[in-house]
Amino acid sequence: MTIAGYEISASTDTAIVPGTAVAHSNNFAPVLKLQYTDFGEWTIDPSTSAARPLYLGTYGGGKPGVAPSTSVPTSGSATFSGAAVGYVSQPNSGKSIGDLATFYGALGLTANFAAGTISGDVTDIEVYEVGKTSSPSVGSINNIRLSGTISGANISGTATAGPSSGSLYNTFGSSGQLTGGFFGPAAQEVAGTFALSGGTNNVSIIGAFGASQPAP
C-alpha cells in the first residue's frame, strides 16, 4: 500500500519547499479491490528535516486519469461498502499514545438516487499509532455519520461524530464537512474526504473513504 516517490510541487509554507519528499502515502483502495478510486493518507515526517514540523493529510477520489462518472442514476437506490482512514487529534489529551493517532474503520453507505441523497456510517473505528497501522490497535473512537446530497457525480454534506464514546478518544460533538463523488461507468464506486472538529474534547478528525457496490 505504501507509495513512494511523491514530492511537493508547490507550497506557500516556508517550512515546506518544492522538492520536499512525502515521507509516506498509503493507498487503501487495493485492499478493497477498488477499480476506479483511490483513498488514503500521507505524511511529511519530521525525520526528513529536524527543523520541520509534522504535516499530514488524506485524499480520496478517482484514480489518476479517471474522471467522475457520467452515468449516475437518477432513480432507485444502491448500497456501498468499504472503509475509511484518517487521523484524530486531541490537544493536551494526556493519552499514553499522545495527542495524535491514525484510524481505520468500516464504511456503509446508501445512495437514494431518486431523492438525491446519500448517508451512512463509519463504524468499528480502531486507532493506531501513526505509521503503525499493521500493529495491534490501541483503542477506538466514536462512529462517524456521513450525510450528503448528490448533484450529478458530486457529493457534499456533513460529517458528525456519534454519541457513544470510543475507548481512547471521545469525539462526541465534533462535526464538519463531507465531499466526494461517484466513479466508474455505472457509478459503481464512491470516494471522498471528510473533516470534523470541536465537540466536548475539542477533537479534530480528517479522513478519507472509498466504497463500492456489491458485484452483481
pLDDT at 191: 98
pLDDT at 3: 46
pLDDT digits (tens, 9 = 90+) for 42-66: 887 545 444 445 788 999 999 999 9
The CA-CA-CA angle for residues 118, 145, 129, to 5°, reads: 130
- Mean pLDDT, rounded, for 19-45: 87
Residue 54 CA: distances (Å) to CA of 36, 45, 66, 96 = 30, 5, 30, 19
pLDDT digits (tens, 9 = 90+) for 107-121: 999 999 999 999 999
pLDDT at 2 over 50: no
Q: How many CB atoms lie within 10 A of CB 216?
A: 4
pLDDT at 5: 57
Higher pLDDT, 90 or 14: 90
pLDDT at 164: 84
pLDDT digits (tens, 9 = 90+) for 84-104: 999 999 887 777 676 888 999
pLDDT digits (tens, 9 = 90+) for 122-166: 999 999 987 665 678 888 999 999 999 999 999 999 999 998 888
pLDDT digits (tens, 9 = 90+) for 170-200: 899 999 999 999 999 999 999 999 999 999 8
pLDDT at 27 over 70: yes
pLDDT at 93: 73
SS3 31: helix
Q: In what order do the strands lie in the sheet with 2-3?
A: 2-3, 24-27, 37-44, 55-62
pLDDT at 216 over 80: no
Tell me the domain boundaries of the chain.
64-212
pLDDT at 4 over 80: no
Per-residue cell: 148: 450528503
Spelled out in words, what is the top-level CATH class assigned to the domain 64-212?
Answer: mainly beta
pLDDT at 33 over 60: yes
pLDDT at 133: 59
